[in-house]
Structure 1
Amino acid sequence: MHSPEFVIRSTTAGDWQAVRALRLEMLRDFPIAYGETLEHALDVDEEGWRLRGARGERADQAVKVAVDGDRWVGTMAGYIPDATTGPMLVGVYVAPEYRGDAAGVSRRLLEAVENWALGHGDTLRLEVHETNARAIRFYEKLGFTFTGRNRPYDLAPGGLELEMIKPLR
């Protein structure tokens, strides 16, 4: 049983071990959702994980985590790939036992990233693999719509990354 009193916060360089553990959990749960293979993530050294954790300390990025006691139960991040497209939502993951509206983890993480994104644009964009029906339903429920744009997914098994967007204002 999990606590309804989880905390949403930004990551730091000092969180590197928890950042690593959650990333490996994410990649094991749904390998095609994160643009990285498990094998690659396992080869990242401590300094690399510290750099990833430090992304949450930057103004031009947001890396939010949901923490229930000592357990990291979810994460979402935002960054600005370029000035024309504005903020982008990436790295969305919630542990299976914390998924669903009743738990509230997904909505609170998204709210934290949206609050950051408001300082950088009027919309929040994301890409989702065409076979990730669960994620697509979640994004649609929270106000994201398809733009009609897509790009090839870089890793096996291939397929398409579909772009979705949500107005923030």
Structure 2
Amino acid sequence: MGYRIERIGLEDWERLREVRLAQLLDTPMAFLETHGTALAHGEEEWRARARKVNEPGAVGLVAVDGASGEWVGTMIGFTPGSDTALLVGVWVAPEHSGRERGVTDAMLDAVVAWARDEAGARRLLLSVHEDNARAAAFYQRRGFAFTGATKPYPLDPAAREREMSLPLGP
């Protein structure tokens, strides 16, 4: 089974909504909203989210199952600063995850290329929930390191998000 990495288009707002709701059911700690909140959003919110990942300084990527055409993963990048890109919205459907399938690696390769080559970033940052050891291990395998910075997790201020960074070159 093959996968391809595509950019989220402006017309993809309904698919974006569908995959976001799946993300929130599968891994609620990895995202900064609840399933109930996302479910209540109207069409304009989802259209706005599709527009946001198509603005300059942003990219929204999906992994598409080559056989079914189903969206099975997402990664979103933004440039909050001139030399920094931020990785958010990372998810792969459980039945498509695992190193042997390569979906997460392929999406990360595409985000890194975007951050370095299109956005001109010198580093890629992300935040990982302190209890998401599997995600942290993946990022460490890919060269990210903890910076030591933390912040409260917005849905539970007693929990922490830990910042990780990947240098992208000069």
TM-score (norm 1): 0.92
Question: 2:6: which partner in 1?
Answer: 9
Which of 95, 104, 107 is the matching residue for 2:105? 107
Question: 2:40: which partner in 1?
Answer: 43
Distance 2:138 2:16 in 1: 24
Q: Is 1:168 matched with 2:165?
A: no
Distance 1:23 1:71 in 2: 13
CA contact 2:53–2:60 (8 Å) conserved in 1: yes
Greater fraction strand: 2
The CA RMSD measured in Å over matched residues stands at: 1.4
What SS does the aligned partner of 2:80 have?
coil
Question: 1:78: which partner in 2?
Answer: 77
CA contact 1:11–1:55 (8 Å) conserved in 2: no
Q: Percent same amino acid among aligned pairs?
A: 43
Superposed CA deviations along residues 115-161 of structure 1, whole A, max 9, x for unmatched, are: 11113311100000000011111111111000001011111374001
Shift of 1:81: 2.5
Counterpart amino acid of residue 149 in structure 1: A
Question: 2:95: which partner in 1?
Answer: 97
Superposed CA deviations along residues 96-131 of structure 1, whole A, max 9, x for unmatched, are: 111112111101101111111113311100000000
Structure 2: where are the runs of 5+ without partners? none
Q: How does 1:150-165 map to 2 (within 5 A)?
A: 150-156=150-156, 158-165=158-165
Superposed CA deviations along residues 62-102 of structure 1, whole A, max 9, x for unmatched, are: 11001113210000011122347x11100100011111121
Structure 1: where are the runs of 5+ without partners? none
Counterpart amino acid of residue 26 in structure 1: Q
Distance 1:37 1:12 in 2: 24
CA contact 2:82–2:121 (8 Å) conserved in 1: no
Q: 1:143 to 1:151 in 2, by over 3 A?
A: same
Counterpart amino acid of residue 22 in structure 1: V
Distance 1:156 1:21 in 2: 25
Counterpart amino acid of residue 152 in structure 2: P
Shift of 1:59: 2.5
Divergent runs of 4+, >6 A: none
Distance 1:35 1:82 in 2: 21
Question: 1:27: which partner in 2?
Answer: 24
